[in-house]
Amino acid sequence: MLGEWKFKPTIGPTLFAVPTFIILILLGSWQVQRMSWKQDIIASFEQQMAKQPVMPPLDIKESTDWRYTRVRATGRFLHDKEILLTGRTFEGTAGFHIVTPFLFNGNRIVLINRGWIPEKLRERKSRPQTIPTGLVSMEGILREDNRKGYFVPENEPDNEVWLYVNTRQIAEYRDIGPVPGYYIDELRAPGPYKLPIGAAGKIEVRNEHLKYAVTWFLLAITLLAVYIVYHTRKCEDD
């Protein structure tokens, strides 16, 4: 005669399954939080880009409302004080970003990331088309200073190796005086690309966290199902 199904967990598989299940759920929840964070960034960027550009501020507030603010100013670039950010690519081609001090509104200076150039144009004399003279109008978006990845090495100013923007450090080594605690990504002009290739007027942020979250949650469900099936046995009655 058929008996009842009984669930009899054992110690070994349980010690493995329980913490693993908890870790998988936590990883899935973390990806959901990351997805929400990315969505907030994209929404903030689109909201700021819809506004009219303003004069670059004297400094930034402690809040995050200033991020991606559109700005516009007329002045001149101090090309002899530029630095090149290494390790930048455009459509798979290696190169640099040109960061140049910009003098405007009398005696104010702000750092402008003017955009990408290929490695072969590292020397300034090889790219006269990237050296505008006289007064120029610039439009861009405010970016946060001194942000670098965990595994990104420190800048080496003495060797002209710049891996990220540190406005205070650049200002000191280029002897340009005080600059605000932000820099500006210059927006590229519409039409065919012109060097340097500036920032796009839209945010390009990968947001695949939903896919990752679903993967972790499915793994957790699979583990739970295997655990239950493994420990469920049918008891036979005589």
Task: Report pLDDT digits (tens) over 133-191.
Answer: 899 999 999 988 877 777 889 999 999 999 999 999 999 999 999 999 899 999 998 88
What is the per-residue pLDDT for 2?
46
Position 201 scores a pLDDT of 73
pLDDT of residue 1: 40
**Residue 77 predicted with pLDDT over 80:** yes
| pLDDT recorded at residue 50 | 75
Higher model confidence: residue 7 or residue 19?
19
Over range 4-17, report the average pLDDT: 86
Binned at pLDDT 50, 70 and 90, residue 45 comes out as confident
Per-residue confidence (pLDDT) for residue 203, from 0 to 100: 65
How high is the pLDDT of residue 86?
94
Q: What is the mean pLDDT of residues 13-40?
A: 90
Predicted pLDDT of residue 149: 74
Per-residue confidence band for 39, with pLDDT thresholds at 50, 70 and 90: confident
pLDDT at 20 over 80: yes
Residue 3: is its pLDDT beyond 90?
no
Q: Is the pLDDT of residue 202 over 80?
A: no
Domain ranges of the chain: 2-42+208-236, 69-123+133-186
Distance CA 168, CA 146 (A): 9
Average pLDDT, the chain: 87
Q: Closest Cα partner for 204 from 223, 192, 188?
A: 188
pLDDT of residue 62: 57
Question: Is 0.75 surpassed by the pTM of this model?
Answer: no
